[in-house]
Amino acid sequence: MFHNHLMVLLAITACIILVSCNANPIPGHQATELVSESPDSLSTPDDPTNTDEPTNITTTLVAATDQPVLITGEFEYTNSIITDYYVEHAVALVDMNGFVERDQEWDIPLESQTLGFLDINPEAMSGSFWLQLPAQPTGTMVNLDPANPAAAGVQVFAISYWPNLTGGPYSEGDDRSQGWPAYLASIRADTENDDEIIGGKLVVWAPDAMQSFPSSYGPDELLFTDDDPLQTLPAGYSVIDLDTDPFTIIRDSEASLTLYEPEDVAIKNFADLSYTEAFDQMFEQVRREYAFNGIEGKEPDWDGLYDTLAPRVAEAEDQNDANLFYAALVDFTDGFRDGHVGLNGGSLSTDYLVERAIGGYGLALRELDDGRVLVVYVGPDTPAETAGMEVGAEVTAFNGMPVSEAIDAVQPPIGPFSTDFGKRYEQVRFLTRTAPGNTAEITFVHPGDSPETVTLTAEQEIDSLFVTDPLSNADPNALPVEFRLLDSGVGYVRINSNYDDLNLIIRLFERALKTFEDNSVPGIIIDMRYNSGGAPLGLAGFLTDETILSGQREYYSDQTGQFEPEGPRERVWPNENQYRFNSMVLLVGQSCYSACEEESYGFSQVPEMQVVGLTPTGGVYAEVARGQYRLPEDISLQVPTGRSTLPDGSIFLEGVGVVPDIRIPTTEEVVLAEAGEDIVLQQAESVVLQGSL
């Protein structure tokens, strides 16, 4: 329930529990991703006596041996987001006033934060920590006794995972935190009920032995409400065990606490079940929680899917055939119109693709906006070259069908897809993919010549497949952000990935802006075309001093049986350091997915920003951290569970993407450009230069 560095998520895209002013992938830790708005009916103390600033008051001296002075503990986790996105790890003593007040946008004061050491073992997916309590904390004083408004009150803390997103080690400035922690925290939170505390341990400090604290949950089963029964705390620190009734007061000098991974973020592990048991349990949960249930054109035909696939899964189990099981799961994912639904079966995936796509004819195709389908690649010593096909030839028919109809019939083995244009692109790519030995009759015509029809026999080759891969220009070894000055003087920055060290991404991007500013560039181009997602960071906050609002996260609630908003509406906050340029262009494309799209949306809302591209972004936008499954045969499945909506109720970004203001048509010039020549970038550069005049 944090709106800070752990909020960048979730996220994700992944998509989502600490929080940063921009966004964060830790599930439930960032207000924009996993926190919830408190309903008006939420019961809170009628007249809590507290202050937003840490308070210094007279205290009773307590011997260190009579109270906790050191907090230690261990934890385990199943979701690797903390090591995927962060390299600077810590724990913190976190002021819980935000929870006492049920204020998810309460800024955690810098002065109240005390950091501790944390050690993570990524292989074991576990960690340990220690934190020395300050002699006198500087958190927020809260009076938990409604009958005694004059009471000094206590300070309430949790221990929480506290990584560094950007800047210094503390959460402040561009890396502020809001609300309260619910991810890898010493308390357990109910994500179905506004992250209400339902267990775990708190660290509480009392200035004297006359302050009250709840002894258990009251009749409303909520903590820190008027019906809580009270007990008196001893002076100094106490650790309160919320899993006992009444709550236990722990005064050991070294207190041990556990950090909890929320159950909804933990990977759903059905790997040890039979095929049918795993499929049935997975299907039931996915059917209930899928993010786009109730959305026309998005919700699968659940009954039809199950009736078709359950017998196939049972057959795979009877035959003990992992490939049959995997093939049934592929068809399960193809029942969605959602590019976030994904399946990874390791060698099973490889075998599946090899069987269907390892063969080719040695040519690659692209479809133009005018409907023509051109040959854009012919491999040396391939069936296509032997038949006399050349780059630039137009294919008019395939296996006796008009080529457009033949493309329509292709079922790409790498789906599903959120958009028609995304699916169409892959249908064109896989039209010429098959098993070696299969034949195809292709009719083509070279410019100025008569049509020819040839029969080609597929052979094992993959070069023609990868030449039109939308991510063929992506370098997996590149830094997540690269930048340079173009010959024209325009500043060019390419954000290759949001799935990396988030601190590094932010620092590199700001370094680019600072370099461009120092060189007085006429304008900048931000290239997001080859970024397949990760964690949104709100980088647009460097370019505007206005808050940018986006979608409202929603999740299915078992309690209400419908999708409910969780947390405040997502937004990009202005950064403390601001940069301005006379002309700005955002380059987008269909390979920009998920968190890349949220990042791109933020950029698109910066005043004077122009969006340029051949297509919109991929239109693949949902939260997936809560929809991770492990199935038998070491198969992993991902299904979105969180969606974002706009105030009018429409879905944010999914199926639409960030649409170019200036759409570059897919022409012969574009698809036949020489290797290394980027026509779209050249067009964007012209737009920048014209805008700088």
Q: Cβ distance 491 to 510 under 8 Å?
A: no
* Residue that is written with structure tokens 């207190």 in the block: 255
CA–CA separation, 30 vs 4, rounded Å?
A: 5
* Residue that is written with structure tokens 């189990």 in the block: 317
CA–CA separation, 611 vs 358, rounded Å?
A: 37
Whether residue 416 is preceded by a cis peptide bond, meaning omega within 30 degrees of 0, is yes
CB atoms within 10 A of CB 60: 12
- Directed axis angle between helix 275-289 and helix 322-333, to 10°? 10
pLDDT digits (tens, 9 = 90+) for 629-652: 999 999 999 999 999 999 998 999
CA–CA separation, 649 vs 356, rounded Å?
A: 41
Q: What percent of the chain has pLDDT over 90?
A: 84
Instruction: Tell me the Cα Rg of the chain.
Output: 28
Angle formed at CA 604 by CA 485 and CA 547, multiple of 5 degrees: 110
Q: What is the pLDDT of residue 674?
A: 75
Whether residue 109 is preceded by a cis peptide bond, meaning omega within 30 degrees of 0, is no
**Low-confidence residues in the chain, pLDDT < 50:** 1-56
- DSSP class of residue 6 equals G
- pTM of the predicted model as reported, rounded to 2 decimal places: 0.87
At residue 599, φ and ψ (nearest 5 deg) are -60, -45
Q: Cβ distance 334 to 356 under 8 Å?
A: no
HSE-up (13 A, CA, CB side) for residue 73: 25
CA–CA separation, 643 vs 654, rounded Å?
A: 8
CA–CA separation, 335 vs 303, rounded Å?
A: 11
Side chain identity at 182, as an amino acid letter?
A
